[in-house]
Each structure stands twice: as C-alpha cells, then as structure tokens.
Amino acid sequence: MIQLLNKADILNKQFTSVFTKESKKNMSDLGQSSHPAMTDITAQVSGVVKLSRNINHYKAPGQDKNSAPFMKETAAELASALSLIFQASL
C-alpha cells in the first residue's frame, strides 16, 4: 500500500509541475454562443434496464469487477440505483 501511495505522489508531482493555474482576469469575453443550448439529459430507469440487458455477454468485467452476465441478470434490480448515479454524474 505504501508503494502505491509513493507512485501516486510521484504522478501527482509530475502533473502539477506541467500545468499552470491561470487567472480568469486575462480571459477574453467570447460573447453569446452561436450554438443552441443543449437540452437536459435524463437517465431513466427503463433506459438503464434496456441498455443493461443488451450488454455483450462475452465482454470482460470493468473496473468495478462486475461481469456482463451479472449486469444482465440484475438489470431490473440495479437500474434504479444506477439511474440515480448516472443522473448525478450528468
């Protein structure tokens, strides 16, 4: 665990050394956007169920270590919680 923290500290020092924090005072005003405003996106439970049930059965697990068959089989039970997580991230 200590070795992992040391690696994280090294990466953090590297990233902070190459990025600068600029003042917002020097930013120019670009005015009104010529593009229309994007409508709100809603993660609906029914959509999460549908997408979860269509996961490729043979795909490897992701970072969460949940297998595709598990996600497909528990789609209805997990959809409500997952939709809240997706909505919060949007």
Distance of CA 73 to the CA centre of its chain: 23
Give per-residue pLDDT as tens, 11-22: 888 888 888 777
The b-or-e profile of 30-59 (16+ CB within 10 A means b, else e) is eeeeeeeeeeeeebeeeebbeebeebeeee
Rounded to two decimals, the pTM is 0.55
As given in the structure block, the two tokens for residue 10 are 């090294």
Residues 10-37 have a mean pLDDT of: 84
